[in-house]
Amino acid sequence: MLLSELTDAEIEDAPDEVKKIYVKFRKCIDKIIELSPEAIELADAYLKHRILTCNYRDDARHIAIATIAGTDLVVSWNFKHIVHFEKIQKFNAVNIEMGYKPVLIYSPRGVTIYGSKSS
């Protein structure tokens, strides 16, 4: 699992329940991924291709940080700007154009199991 300094900053305004879960995640990782010049360049390419507007620069930076870090999967609750079929295709088109691998993007519900276990 990877977390970025952007996630750390955003969690400050999250509900207490989310903060408690995030603290558990933070204990599982050794390093927070920083916003590198390379990630800024990739995020700017997303904006240039009009995947997102400048108002959502941090959303673009989240995807760019994950891409640069080589992650296979991004998990997000952001259904408007990140977990959105057309936007995922566009993020990955830019990734490929700039020499990076595509990333999978899912909601937490898409990658977890809810309810009781059956035998």
Structural domain contains residue 118 = no
Structural domain contains residue 68 = yes
What is the tally of structural domains in the chain?
1
Q: Which two tokens stand for residue 109?
A: 């519900």
**Domain extent at residue 68:** 3-109
Question: Is the C-alpha dihedral spanning 114, 28, 83, 106 positive or negative?
Answer: negative
Q: What is the pLDDT of residue 119?
A: 46
DSSP 12-65: GGS-HHHHHHHHHHHHT-S-EEP--HHHHHHHHHHHHTTSS-GGGHHHHHHHHH
Structural domain contains residue 119 = no
* pLDDT tens digits along 17-66: 988 988 988 888 888 899 999 999 999 999 999 999 999 999 999 999 99
Structural domain contains residue 116 = no
